């Protein structure tokens, strides 16, 4: 199959009102596809779903250990966080440890995604800084690596050694040359790959051994472990990544990306998962990743966090039950 496959249905009363299509690939650590819908060869921009790959040079260079980074900081390096104090306070502390300030980041200021933080900022007539950017943890990782190698200030430039290292790591774990890149919302290059390449990369992380003598492999294992140990730092309260990782009870590292992308790392099964919804809808990508992980036995379909993403009821402004979101038959059925 080369076309997108039906993934998620939106029902209102007796009718399927809308349909989201896309691609799903599940790959094992040997590079074999164990399950796929849509086109495994579809080229996509994985967006923030690959922040753990972008953090690999931080690990294999020795920078993480040279600066004494803790697992919580490694989780932040992989995060798309809410900009709540639980995220911005450690980012500010990390910058201070590096002898740097908010001005040294290149991700741009972003209004906090955390509602309470945003409302408090509005009441105080304050302004967001770059630490509030959902990618600020990743940029702290970039800055740590940059300080370790003595690079120039514009570390997000695609020709900068930090990004050259990120591309090398990306092409290594996807096992293919990237056809190009787009500039992400945080100003860093985001390298393209196929759905198969993305799933293969996640399977690499799933099978990585923390005790390996290969620094890239051991670094991948440490990043995976950090994400699983600190799900609230990877995303935040009310977010699918955080809630589904908690529901998985240590069996998965889960990461969203913009425009309908999700990835999952399953260490017990040594599997990697890649999801892309073609219309970029978050409701569909969250439903899809939850359904795939239910299918693989990682999540319980009856867990409230899973129901919230995979089979939520649709209600109107009076609270009437008007329909539901649910996986398409080919996605959930064995």
Tally the C-alpha atoms within 13 A of residue 294's C-alpha that lie toward its C-beta. 23
Q: Percent of the chain scored above 90 by pLDDT?
A: 98
How are beta strands 189-191 and 181-183 bridged, if at all? antiparallel
The encoded tokens of residue 112 equal 């906090």
Q: Give yes or no for a contact between 199 and 27, defined as CB atoms under 8 angstroms apart.
A: yes
Q: What percent of the chain has a predicted confidence (pLDDT) above 70? A: 99
Whether the CA torsion 140, 145, 149, 154 is positive or negative: it is: negative
**Best CA proximity match to 149, nearest among 74, 230, 213, 63:** 63
Per-residue pLDDT tens over the stretch 17-50: 999 999 999 999 999 999 999 999 999 999 999 9
Kindly tell me the sign of the dihedral angle through the C-alpha atoms of 44, 1, 8, 307. negative
- Residue 239: pLDDT above 60? yes
Instruction: Please indicate, yes or no, whether the overall pTM of this predicted structure exceeds 0.85.
Output: yes
- Residue 319's region, left for phi above 0, alpha for psi from -120 to 50, else beta, is left
**Tokens describing residue 274:** 């890649």
Res 1 pLDDT > 80: no
- Per-residue confidence band for 207, with pLDDT thresholds at 50, 70 and 90: very high
Helices (runs of H) and strands (runs of E) counted in the chain = 15, 12
Question: Which tokens in the block code for residue 247?
Answer: 């529901």
- Asked whether the beta carbons of 71 and 222 are under 8 A apart, the reply is yes
3-state secondary structure of 246: helix
As a dihedral over the C-alpha atoms of residue 235, residue 279, residue 22, residue 238, rounded to 10 degrees, the angle is 20
| Whole-angstrom distance, CA of residue 284 vs CA of residue 302 | 19
Q: How far apart (Å, rounded) are the C-alpha atoms in residues 57 and 17? A: 45
Helical segments of 150-238, H only: 161-174, 195-207, 215-229, 231-234
pLDDT tens, position by position, 275-302: 999 999 999 999 999 999 999 999 999 9
Check residue 332 and give its pLDDT: 85
Average of per-residue pLDDT across 222-243 = 98
Tokens at 306, concatenated: 């899973």
Q: What is the pLDDT of residues 62-120, one digit of tens each?
A: 999 999 999 999 999 999 999 999 999 999 999 999 999 999 999 999 999 999 999 99
Buried b / exposed e over 223-260, threshold 16 CB at 10 Å, is bbbbbbbbbbbbbbeebbbbbbbebbeebbbbbbbbbb
Position 177 scores a pLDDT of: 98
pLDDT at 333: 75
Tokens for 67, please give them. Answer: 């600066």
Cα angle value 30/241/325 (rounded, 5°) = 100
Nearest by Cα to 228 from 242, 212, 210: 242
Extended beta strands in 98-180, E state: none
Q: Is the pLDDT of residue 334 over 60?
A: no
């Amino acid at each position: 199959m080369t076309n997108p496959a039906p993934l998620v249905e939106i029902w209102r009363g007796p009718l399927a009102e809308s349909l989201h299509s896309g691609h799903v690939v599940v790959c094992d650590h040997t590079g074999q596809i164990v399950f796929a819908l849509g086109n495994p060869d579809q080229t996509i921009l994985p967006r923030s779903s690959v922040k753990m790959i972008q953090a690999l040079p931080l690990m294999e260079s020795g920078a993480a250990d040279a600066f004494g980074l803790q697992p919580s900081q490694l989780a932040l390096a992989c995060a798309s966080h809410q900009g709540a104090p639980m995220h911005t306070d450690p980012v500010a502390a990390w910058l201070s440890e590096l002898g740097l300030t908010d001005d040294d980041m290149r991700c741009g200021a972003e209004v906090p995604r955390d509602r309470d933080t945003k409302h408090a900022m509005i009441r105080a007539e304050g302004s967001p800084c770059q630490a509030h950017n959902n990618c600020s943890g990743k940029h702290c990782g970039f800055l740590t690596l940059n300080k370790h190698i003595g690079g120039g200030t514009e570390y997000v430039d695609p020709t900068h050694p930090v990004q050259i290292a990120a591309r090398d790591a990306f092409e290594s774990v996807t096992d293919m040359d990237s056809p190009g890149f787009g500039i992400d919302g945080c100003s860093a290059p985001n390298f393209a790959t196929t759905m198969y390449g993305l799933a293969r990369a996640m399977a690499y992380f799933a099978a990585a051994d923390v005790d390996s003598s290969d620094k890239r492999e051991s670094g991948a294992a440490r990043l995976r472990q950090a994400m699983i140990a600190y799900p609230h730092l990877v995303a935040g309260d009310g977010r699918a990544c955080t809630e589904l990782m908690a529901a998985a009870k240590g069996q998965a590292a889960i990461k969203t990306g913009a425009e309908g992308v999700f990835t999952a790392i399953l260490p017990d099964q040594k599997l990697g998962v890649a999801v892309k919804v073609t219309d970029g809808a978050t409701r569909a990508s969250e439903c899809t990743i939850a359904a795939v992980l239910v299918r693989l036995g990682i999540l319980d379909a009856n867990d409230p966090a899973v129901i919230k993403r995979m089979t939520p009821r649709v209600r109107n402004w009076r609270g009437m039950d008007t329909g539901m979101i649910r996986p398409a038959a080919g996605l959930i059925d064995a």
